[in-house]
Structure 1
Amino acid sequence: MSRRRHALMMLLPFLTLSMPPSADAQTSTPSATPARTSNLDAASRTAIVARLSTELSSKYIYPVVGEKGAAAITAAAASGAYDRIVDRSAFATRLTEDLRGVMTDKHLMVFDTTNRPASSVASMPAGEAGIVRADRLPGGIGYLQIDGFANPWAFKPALDRAMTGLKGSRALILDMRGNGGGDPASVSYLVSYLLAAGQRTKINSIVERKAGTTEFRRDSFFSEPTPVSFPSVPAYVLTSGNTFSGGEELAYDMQTLKLGTVVGEVTGGGANPGERISIGHGVMAFIPTGRAESPVTGSNWEGRGVQPDLKVPAANALATTLRRLGQVPAAATIEAASPVSVFAQRTVPLKGGEAMLRRLFAGRTAPEADYTLMKTDASEAGRAALAATHRRLQPLGVPQAIRFRRPNGFGFDEFTLVYPDRTLLVGIMLDSDGKFIDLIGPDPSM
């Protein structure tokens, strides 16, 4: 049985994966923003509160807290607190505020899917699978900037190239100041590089609630073999207040396993992964269904953030670390310290991306999406993403050519679709078995 993927981040569920329009939203062009639907009436608000309450009670990682959140919004609705809120986005924001007020979980969010800008290829961050750059600084210092931990089948080969380029470094700086999170398997793989070759170490676990019960399952992550290793090499993790979730896990793991020094600001304080759940009426929620658990502390950084060993403003974290390593004067930015990165993005696609695009186009005239392109246990939100992709491709013909463009920072492979009169851009993400996860675009070529 394949391991479940945990969205241990905020960026991935809300900004990266395309938000499917509601059933009554229409799309006039492939890249159109979902159309705004009518405001909410009393019956719709009641139904949203009831469904959201049920999902919280059934799935939230801490059953008692889930019940508490459900009771809070149910009582608010009964008191008339929501009666004057007719705007869907305002209602989603209010529900988020009310739930966080009693549940204090930064991953928890309710949002309006009918009024969110469609994700575009142009909006995707640069880099490869979260890796932005790797540099060999003067004095034998290796520097690695990672802004997110994409799925491991995209992240691992990129990290292997980056770390191989840093082989022989006498110290490592891992810059997580812009890291919004990602897959815990990818976090654990990076930690593996700091451990002795052949050493198997438990790095983290995700404890997940079985829906509708008070029972839990545990998914543990261990170190893995890496092409090179940096045991006993002094390591520093740079953090900011924006370092969140999976980015925080890296700092927490390094700190609790005594593998490195954390330099910078207290991190955001989000340690509970979860899933996107459709609530109906154009509303979706991200409900944390799990929690991270360190094998060292038996706990995590939820609500507190990771406390740096050297507390300095994020903007000063790099210079502070370089001075600690004997670099005087110390550059304030990586651009000043190292004008050229040694990390180069791959120039060939991951296996299966082009073939999946051709299958999607071949089936575009069918009345509904081909769900055999996904894993059989795909989530409701995942199936909705495939359905939305199917609708966006229906007006298009089969492209004359499909050409790989580049990987991007969130683990998608970008392709150019060539037509006689235009070119379009898409980004596609598959899982380790070559099954569909999501597609961004098509967008007009820039």
Structure 2
Amino acid sequence: MSSRHHALMMFLPLLALSVPPSAGAQTATASATPARTSNLDAAARTAIVARLSTELRSKYIYPVVGEKGAAAITAAAASGAYDRIVDLPAFAMRLTEDLRGVMADKHLMVFDATNRPAPSVASMPAGEAGIVRVDRLPGGIGYLQIDGFANPWAFKPALDRAMAGLKGSHALILDVRGNGGGDPASVSYLVSYLVPAGKPIGISSIVWRKAGTTDFTRKPFFSEPTPVSFAGVPAYVLTSGDTFSGGEEFAYDMQTLKLGTIVGEATGGGANPGERVSIGHGVMAFIPAGRAVSPVTGSNWEGRGVQPDLKVPAADALATTLRRLSRPAAATIEAASPVSVFTPRTAPLNGGEAMLHRLFAGRAAPEPDYTLMKPDASDAGRAALAATHRRLQPLGVPQAIRFRRPDGFGFDEFTLVYPDHTLLAGIMLDSDGKFIDLIGPDPSK
């Protein structure tokens, strides 16, 4: 997949734009940011609406719907509906509300990029590449909690170790109740563990719109060989209303391919991946430029969510599943299994430390070295490298760079050692060793 797209991506801190309204993360981000008056003038509002309308018409996955959204905010601006909004965050929120009101797309979002708290290494969740817990429960039941699907470079080796630890399980419980999304290639790799080995089968596709046209391309995802197989093993997928995007895709694929039973709540209902786009005046938009397509249904879960086979409150999903497996019910995995058998790796992925050295070596240059990225990197991706370059410019070269841990978002975290202090940084690369993003450096604690 082209790096221009962030397919079904929610959980990365710099791309956390696809949270369903019910999840609270989107509103929490806004409420945690101090309100400020930006003296947004009429010219700026006009320019923002015009640029956003152009981007919607050019890129939104459904051209007719994109035109409808663009027309709605253009008409609202012409009617004076926005004239009294002088605060940039408030204007971005109003545009999001107006667009979702006519386009009904939960991935679509407009936000004030200048007023969002910068992610820090300390805020990254534990785990490895989205894998949080792996447990062997009494009765030969394997349990896997996946809170996100990091890029395959980080996700696949972590999943392979997790599934090796569950080899021989008579049933699997796959918990995506807290899963906000991720890379569809990683989703399809997890599904691959449940399908019969042999001829690859189609798991899903993402249809992308070619910007500025009504032409489309399709990226299919097929099952792959896995080190161990759980084909034919009864599988249960736990869901909640907060399961979103790539987390929903996993549940949908498991359901439509008849590989497992969905237990819990209807999911959030977001199936249209996309990309961040700069609108100017400090405004960014996440514009869905793609749609997920199942080879079984020819459709997806957009707006409806994945409907569970066993509908119960999310908090009761684990206990319900254990009872169905004739095991003692437990409300939480901690009660069922006090200690996870999964340990995140203690060595970095190849290339992370070397990339940090290259970034520091080039920090004094006027511009970042864009050859560190893929040639087709998106504007948002290039902006991430430019922001990294600016953050590193005032820093000296560290005496040492030491691996700290992987994190739950797919970053490798490092300690940067200086004579009188240390800093923390997290870096993410793709499978070709190219730069994707960097968080920090932050003071260590």
Q: Indicate whether 1:440 and 2:439 are aligned.
A: yes
In structure 1, the residue matched to 2:141 is 141
User: How far off its partner does 1:48 sit?
Assistant: 0.4
In structure 1, the residue matched to 2:351 is 352
In structure 2, the residue matched to 1:284 is 284
Cα-to-partner distance string for 1:84-140 (whole Å, 9 max, x where unaligned): 101000000000000000000000000001111001001111110000011000000
In structure 2, the residue matched to 1:274 is 274
In structure 2, the residue matched to 1:367 is 366
AA matched with 2:220 = S
Task: Show the 5 A alignment for 1:15-414.
Answer: 38-328=38-328, 330-414=329-413
Secondary structure of 1:182's aligned partner: coil
Task: Show the 5 A alignment for 1:9-20.
Answer: 9-12=9-12, 14=14
Name segments (4+ residues, structure 1) moved above 6 Å: 1-4, 33-37
Cα pair 2:11 2:409 within 8 Å, conserved:
no
AA matched with 1:202 = G
AA matched with 1:364 = R
In structure 1, the residue matched to 2:24 is none
How many residue pairs get aligned? The number is: 430
Q: Provide TM-score, normalisation by structure 1.
A: 0.94
Cα pair 1:209 1:217 within 8 Å, conserved:
yes
Whole-angstrom CA distance in 1 between matches of 2:370 and 2:34 = 22
User: How far off its partner does 1:440 sit?
Assistant: 0.2
Moved more, 5-14 or 360-369: 5-14
Whole-angstrom CA distance in 1 between matches of 2:310 and 2:291 = 27
Whole-angstrom CA distance in 2 between matches of 1:16 and 1:185 = 19
Whole-angstrom CA distance in 1 between matches of 2:289 and 2:9 = 13
Whole-angstrom CA distance in 2 between matches of 1:255 and 1:334 = 23
Whole-angstrom CA distance in 2 between matches of 1:155 and 1:10 = 15
Secondary structure of 1:339's aligned partner: coil
Whole-angstrom CA distance in 1 between matches of 2:304 and 2:392 = 44
User: How far off its partner does 1:38 sit?
Assistant: 4.0
Whole-angstrom CA distance in 2 between matches of 1:261 and 1:114 = 43
User: How far off its partner does 1:13 sit?
Assistant: 6.8
AA matched with 1:258 = K
Whole-angstrom CA distance in 1 between matches of 2:39 and 2:364 = 32
Cα pair 2:5 2:275 within 8 Å, conserved:
no
Whole-angstrom CA distance in 2 between matches of 1:261 and 1:344 = 28
Cα pair 2:37 2:86 within 8 Å, conserved:
no
Aligned sequence identity (%): 87
Cα pair 1:273 1:290 within 8 Å, conserved:
yes
Cα pair 2:5 2:274 within 8 Å, conserved:
no
* Runs of 5+ unmatched residues, structure 2: 18-32
Whole-angstrom CA distance in 1 between matches of 2:363 and 2:14 = 26
Distance 1:367 1:3, change over 3 A: closer
Q: Provide TM-score, normalisation by structure 2.
A: 0.94
Whole-angstrom CA distance in 1 between matches of 2:379 and 2:6 = 15
Cα-to-partner distance string for 1:186-239 (whole Å, 9 max, x where unaligned): 000000000112231100000010111111100000000000001110000000
Whole-angstrom CA distance in 1 between matches of 2:311 and 2:120 = 37
* Runs of 5+ unmatched residues, structure 1: 18-32
Distance 1:445 1:35, change over 3 A: farther
Q: Provide the alpha-carbon RMSD of the alignment.
A: 1.7
Cα-to-partner distance string for 1:144-194 (whole Å, 9 max, x where unaligned): 000000000100000000000000000000000000000000000000000
